[in-house]
Structure 1
Amino acid sequence: MSLPAPRPDLNPPEGDLAAVLRRRAHETPEKQVYGFLRDGVNEADGLSYAQLDTSARAIAAALQERFKPGSRMLMLYPPGLEFAAAFFGCLYAGMIAVPAYPPRKNQLDGRLIGIVKDCGPAAILTVAEVAAGVEAMVNQLAPGAMAVIATDAVGPDGADAWREVPLPPEAIAFLQYTSGSTAAPKGVMVSHGNIMHNERAILESMEHDSDLVGVAWLPVFHDMGLLGNLLQPVYAGGATYLIPPLAFLKRPLAWIEAISRYRGTTCGGPNFAFDLCAQAAAAADGGLDLDLSCWQVAYVGAEPVRAGTLQRFAKAFERYGFRKEAFFPCYGLAEVTLIATGGPRPRQPEIVRVDGGALTENRIQTRRLPGAGSRQLVGCGRAATDLEVLVVEPESAAVCADSQIGEIWVGGESVARGYFNDQAGSRETFGARLDTGRGPFMRTGDLGFLRGGELFITGRLKDLIVIRGRNYYPNDVELSVEEAHEGIAANGTAAFAVDDGEQEKLVVVAEVSRSFFHRLRSEADGELAGQILSAVRDQVALDHELQLHDLVMVKPGGIPRTSSGKIRRGESRELYLAGGLEILGAG
């Protein structure tokens, strides 16, 4: 099946992203590129292209005065627009930006310690408000080893001192630390060429132009938040409004209201964000003042996309002008900069219903009607511009046939340069070759299949649960658990296998919903907990013909997550085995 050609009126810019911003500042100096909605709705701050360019040049000049090009700059910023100016300042100066999650209350955590030890930053960039606390924190780790620079204290007068530096495509622009183990985060080396190639892929897949208006809440140090929400508007010549992640989590409808108010055209996030909004809209029972007819691209990615979520969201918001054709399920990861597949658009999501029993045997058998044991899989689009996406048998490295499950491999100029300070890991992940010798390809570790060019994700290779020789995907089991009883929170379960010395057994850790939390804590006889446990066991047995060894219920927020909200199954398993979970009920 041939793919549709990119729209002829799309005009991807050339050069590097620093040069793109310089041109935007010259051509549309007064146009606002970023707005900051501190409370999630009302604009508290803004930056024009000219202001962003001036701030970036001033910060770059300050960095050039003290550090040589290629020095690594650890970026620890609270929500706001200061991060954007500092990130472009790093690009302008030829430094390597290292975005990271700002620690709570300036307390060192294992992940941040791992990043500092791995990349050895020359300086830490932050804002004046928290600079003293950040300095005290890092001095615990390496006294005096890193300068702490408050970039918001750098005045615009220094912009003229900036010296332009060459930014070849192969030079590293930033390190994107993955959201894996807290003990050993991996720094993906993203080059200037990677950025430009992937930004073009995003622009052409989503058909962006200078009319792009984003409304985004994802952290800007997250790959989707950075590449999709912060950099794509500059690449396309558009604008975006940024919402603090906490403002969204406290009140998800603030995001939807901001899309309506600021006429957002491209807005999205992980599956759980759409679930939270659908739940909030259902509770409002139609009493919302919204106009979502502006919403052209509702991208959904970063975690498994669930058909039920899309259906609930569309039902909740179609009365306000939302169209199913706006949904844009996509697939990507930091190792390919961001996007790997998505589109074409506009169209409704491609959903296939498959037999769950066949899926455990690594076979795809479609079913026409719903029923026990059936699964709905959502297509994540087709390969983005100039990227090759293959499904490969992981042992033989042979390309799989259409509708055959295998590991997803990606090739093309968006594939990053490897992992910083990890040659062995880089060779293993980024140096894969097919049985024919063709390559290199990046091994994603994700499982899926291609069907007529459309990519479907079935699970994660390392998370696969194998019991009695059959394969079970954690996300399928987790969905069954969440649908079994209203006392289980949506997007709050972790399924994994444990070995009891004789065989692998299924364990699920599940957060209870907030409405049931206090009821469970206050009941004396455990009757409600027993009802939930029974419902979950029955549902898992019905859907998967699988016996649940242990269900552990924990409080809301009791399961470890990444900074973008994804469940950490491996860490959940470790906590379970170590007895480190605060258990409300189990059985």
Structure 2
Amino acid sequence: MTVCFTRDSASRESIPSSRSSNLVALSRERATYQGSKLAYRFLQDGETESGRLSYQDIDLKARAIAQKLQSSNATGDRVLLIFPPGLDFITAFFGCLYAGAIAVPAYPPRRNQNLPRLQAIIDSSGSTFALTTSSLLARIAGSFSQSSAPEQPSQLAALHWIATDAIETENAQSWQPPDIDPQDLAFIQYTSGSTGDPKGVKISHRNILHNSALIQQSFSTTPEDSGVSWLPPYHDMGLIGCILQPMFVGASMTLMPPLAFLQQPIRWLQAISDRQATASGGPNFAYDLCVRKVKPAQLETLDLSRWKVAFTGAEPVRAATLARFAEKFAPCGFRETAFHPCYGMAETTLIVSGKTPNALPVVQSIETASLKENRVKLSTDDAQETQSVASCGQPLEGVEVVIVDPNALTLCSDRQVGEIWIKGESVAQGYWNQPALTQKIFNAWLLDNGDSPQERLRQRKGPYLRTGDLGFLQSNELFVTGRIKDLMIIRGQNHYPQDVEATVEAAHAALRSDSGAVFTIEVSAKGSVEEKVVVVQEVKRSYLRKLDPQAVIDDVRAAVTRQHGLQVYAIALIKTGSIPKTSSGKIRRSHCKTQFSETSLNVVGSWSENPRLTAEFVRLDAEMNALLEKLG
């Protein structure tokens, strides 16, 4: 989870190492020493350049935007950033910082679909100002009256809206530099909400500069590097890794809309090839998508020989995906040593660990039975069932990572799976306006393994960040196995949902990759309550009309039982593109579970041990109730 860059022999100027204490000073330093250098270019459709910014352009436009905010008394306030993919977001973000305001990036609403999330961010952050473009402002203004929730129009309309593309650059002359302490907040990063409601992570200038130094340490990037990114700027990987990191290094970045990549993954690889990028990346699904969608004939147009850091993070790294990608794109010059699995999250600003450069990814084969018992036993020749787990690299310098028993709050023994706890300057200040949750997550203390409670408390150590992730350390390599909240415990054994999801999607050709969720529900039977497995899985668009639901369901049930020894309680096959995902592409399992319970999934076929849970029963029940209402 990190940045993106390529060698550019035309830019070999001597750049002093940055000692800036905040992002405004850093940006002004870049404008002074590298003013004319290309900082960012944007490919509107993933292919055609539609705009570019030099470091001098950024400084000029940021000062103009800041002056407008300062004249509106926005200094110190939270400022919502609502932009379509493009360069306007970058100048607006720095404009907030130049004004001494706190930026609040938010995903732009699409036909009212994201209004509830946007409203939640406004309510949480207490933003009073909002920056956007003239065209998007006109569209958003139209949604004020179209919203189904009566309280939303007034609250959205109450914001002080400013179209940054309408601000004259002459205003920059009246800008007043703010007094910024390194501990001051730069922005509030709202989490993608894969396991719950979005939370605002408080990121300071010091957090960003410290984490940027870690990324540069991990990637060994220089001002001569440049990169390519399709990642959304509202997400930590896209913002920190692919917008702020190039600024920190003094490098160049090529950006494209996420949709351009998703529609045609070849665009990402073609941009890397055309610009000879040395580092770029994304979540595991991005590599899998390229393997599945890039045609053999298209390989002939690609030169990936300069791509030296292919980072992957934000979701579990699958060793099989890395192997398939390396094999397919080896003829294009791609080297397996370029893979750079890493680990991090918004609460740590971004990166925590990363792979050693120029080395193959570390993959361990673990006995599946041991993982079910929170143990790590390396597989042997006579092991009946094994699982390949890819390392997320080694904790970076200045970052302490410990593996903790999440219940006893004590260090785990060697080769034991536990919760990942983190300590270091990149750890954020907490959650905005959530002191109780901040205390619980950001101020965890590790107890000593003493004999008495008094001794354990006396020798406690901290504070640490509780990540909620499960994993283990081996030879200083960090292996992440899953999320505590997502972990399924069936008959006393642990099962990771992503493992079962991989089995499900491979069970039948009609099922769409990276588009399924597996979770458990409580079911009462014979006076006791048991955890039962539920599968929700998208169907490929090309199979919707000719789908044989029962055949697919039979294959899924058989595969899950064969591979994991689990009996599936219910299966819902749903329409293409309808499963809940975050802005970064993660499956929202908890939200999917809620939709299953509320029978609000877009189901095209279903089965359950309990017929009352099937889509057909729900439909007939609703029709019967409607008929009874008419008769009544």
TM-score tier by shorter-chain length is over 0.9
Of 352-361 and 102-111, the range deviating more from structure 2: 102-111
Aligned-partner Cα distance in 2 for 1:79–1:169: 29
Query: Among residues 208, 215, 239, which one is paired with 1:202 in the alignment?
Result: 215
Q: How far apart are residue 165 of structure 1 and its match?
A: 1.1
Find out whether 1:382 has 2:394 as its counterpart: yes
Find out whether 1:497 has 2:503 as its counterpart: no
Q: Which residue of 2 aligns with 1:4?
A: none
Query: Among residues 85, 90, 99, which one is paired with 1:93 in the alignment?
Result: 99
Q: Which residue of 2 aligns with 1:3?
A: none
* AA matched with 1:452: S
Query: Among residues 523, 547, 560, which one is paired with 2:567 in the alignment?
Result: 547
Find out whether 1:325 has 2:337 as its counterpart: yes
Q: Which residue of 1 aligns with 2:554?
A: 534
Closer, same or farther: CA 45–548 of 1 in aligned 2, 3 Å: same
Aligned-partner Cα distance in 2 for 1:105–1:571: 20
Query: Among residues 498, 518, 521, which one is paired with 2:545 in the alignment?
Result: 518
Aligned-partner Cα distance in 1 for 2:175–2:16: 32
Closer, same or farther: CA 538–369 of 1 in aligned 2, 3 Å: farther
Find out whether 1:448 has 2:461 as its counterpart: no
Closer, same or farther: CA 227–434 of 1 in aligned 2, 3 Å: same
Q: How far apart are residue 164 of structure 1 and its match?
A: 0.8
Query: Among residues 343, 356, 361, which one is paired with 1:344 in the alignment?
Result: 356
Q: How far apart are residue 513 of structure 1 and its match?
A: 2.4
Gaps of at least 5 residues in structure 2 are 1-14, 145-151, 448-458, 608-632
Q: TM-score, normalised by structure 2?
A: 0.88
Aligned-partner Cα distance in 1 for 2:377–2:16: 39
Find out whether 1:257 has 2:270 as its counterpart: yes
Could you say what secondary structure the match of 1:494 adopts?
A: strand
Closer, same or farther: CA 360–12 of 1 in aligned 2, 3 Å: farther
Aligned-partner Cα distance in 1 for 2:278–2:545: 40
Q: How far apart are residue 271 of structure 1 and its match?
A: 0.5
Find out whether 1:462 has 2:505 as its counterpart: no
Contact 1:402 1:452 in 2 (8 A): no
Q: Which residue of 1 aligns with 2:70?
A: 64
**What's the Cα RMSD here?**
1.8
Aligned-partner Cα distance in 2 for 1:62–1:95: 12
Aligned-partner Cα distance in 2 for 1:310–1:486: 21
Contact 1:114 1:183 in 2 (8 A): no
Q: Which residue of 1 aligns with 2:377?
A: 365
Contact 1:431 1:441 in 2 (8 A): yes
Q: Which residue of 2 aligns with 1:569?
A: 589
Aligned-partner Cα distance in 2 for 1:67–1:190: 22
Closer, same or farther: CA 382–500 of 1 in aligned 2, 3 Å: same
Aligned-partner Cα distance in 1 for 2:536–2:435: 35
Q: Which residue of 2 aligns with 1:280?
A: 293
Contact 2:226 2:277 in 1 (8 A): yes
Aligned-partner Cα distance in 2 for 1:205–1:181: 27
* AA matched with 2:71: E
Contact 1:391 1:408 in 2 (8 A): yes
Q: Which residue of 2 aligns with 1:525?
A: none
Find out whether 1:159 has 2:172 as its counterpart: yes
Of 530-539 and 76-85, the range deviating more from structure 2: 530-539
* AA matched with 1:74: L
Of 426-435 and 360-369, the range deviating more from structure 2: 360-369
Aligned-partner Cα distance in 2 for 1:112–1:182: 18
Closer, same or farther: CA 363–183 of 1 in aligned 2, 3 Å: closer
Could you say what secondary structure the match of 2:281 adopts?
A: coil
* AA matched with 1:127: T
Contact 2:194 2:587 in 1 (8 A): no
Aligned-partner Cα distance in 2 for 1:288–1:486: 28
Closer, same or farther: CA 172–299 of 1 in aligned 2, 3 Å: same
Find out whether 1:73 has 2:73 as its counterpart: no
Closer, same or farther: CA 20–536 of 1 in aligned 2, 3 Å: same
Find out whether 1:244 has 2:248 as its counterpart: no
Aligned-partner Cα distance in 2 for 1:476–1:66: 52
Aligned-partner Cα distance in 1 for 2:398–2:49: 38
Closer, same or farther: CA 385–183 of 1 in aligned 2, 3 Å: closer
Structure with bigger RCO (C-alpha 8 Å, 6+ apart):
2
* AA matched with 2:542: S
Of 96-105 and 486-495, the range deviating more from structure 2: 486-495
Contact 1:498 1:504 in 2 (8 A): yes
Could you say what secondary structure the match of 2:445 adopts?
A: coil
Q: How far apart are residue 294 of structure 1 and its match?
A: 1.4
Q: Which residue of 2 aligns with 1:523?
A: none
Contact 1:389 1:408 in 2 (8 A): yes
Q: Which residue of 2 aligns with 1:483?
A: 506
Contact 1:407 1:447 in 2 (8 A): yes
Aligned-partner Cα distance in 2 for 1:516–1:136: 37
Query: Among residues 174, 177, 198, which one is paired with 2:190 in the alignment?
Result: 177
Aligned-partner Cα distance in 1 for 2:405–2:290: 38
Q: Which residue of 1 aligns with 2:325?
A: 313
Q: TM-score, normalised by structure 1?
A: 0.94
Gaps of at least 5 residues in structure 1 are 1-8, 521-527
Of 56-65 and 538-547, the range deviating more from structure 2: 538-547
Contact 1:110 1:183 in 2 (8 A): no
Q: Which residue of 2 aligns with 1:524?
A: none
Aligned-partner Cα distance in 2 for 1:516–1:250: 19
Q: How far apart are residue 191 of structure 1 and its match?
A: 0.6
Q: Which residue of 2 aligns with 1:559?
A: 579
Find out whether 1:268 has 2:268 as its counterpart: no
Aligned-partner Cα distance in 2 for 1:509–1:108: 23
Deviations 1:153-181 (A, max 9, x none): 11211111111112111111100001117
Query: Among residues 208, 211, 214, which one is paired with 2:224 in the alignment?
Result: 211
* AA matched with 2:58: L
* Count of equivalent residues: 571
Closer, same or farther: CA 307–370 of 1 in aligned 2, 3 Å: farther
Deviations 1:176-233 (A, max 9, x none): 0011179842100001110101111111111111122110001101100000000000
Query: Among residues 120, 132, 136, which one is paired with 1:130 in the alignment?
Result: 136
Closer, same or farther: CA 41–176 of 1 in aligned 2, 3 Å: same
Q: Which protein is bigger by CA-based radius of gyration? A: 2
Aligned-partner Cα distance in 1 for 2:154–2:462: 41
Aligned-partner Cα distance in 1 for 2:16–2:477: 23
Deviations 1:206-262 (A, max 9, x none): 111112211000110110000000000000000111110111111111100011011
* AA matched with 1:519: K
Could you say what secondary structure the match of 2:228 adopts?
A: strand
Contact 2:299 2:332 in 1 (8 A): no
Contact 2:340 2:354 in 1 (8 A): yes
Q: Which residue of 1 aligns with 2:42?
A: 36
* AA matched with 2:489: V
Could you say what secondary structure the match of 1:218 adopts?
A: coil
Contact 2:196 2:590 in 1 (8 A): no
Contact 1:10 1:207 in 2 (8 A): no
Q: How far apart are residue 545 of structure 1 and its match?
A: 1.0
Query: Among residues 271, 292, 298, which one is paired with 2:310 in the alignment?
Result: 298
Of 454-463 and 536-545, the range deviating more from structure 2: 536-545
Contact 1:374 1:543 in 2 (8 A): no
Q: How far apart are residue 133 of structure 1 and its match?
A: 2.8
Contact 2:108 2:114 in 1 (8 A): no
Aligned-partner Cα distance in 2 for 1:369–1:485: 30
The percent identity for this pair of structures is 44
Find out whether 1:399 has 2:411 as its counterpart: yes
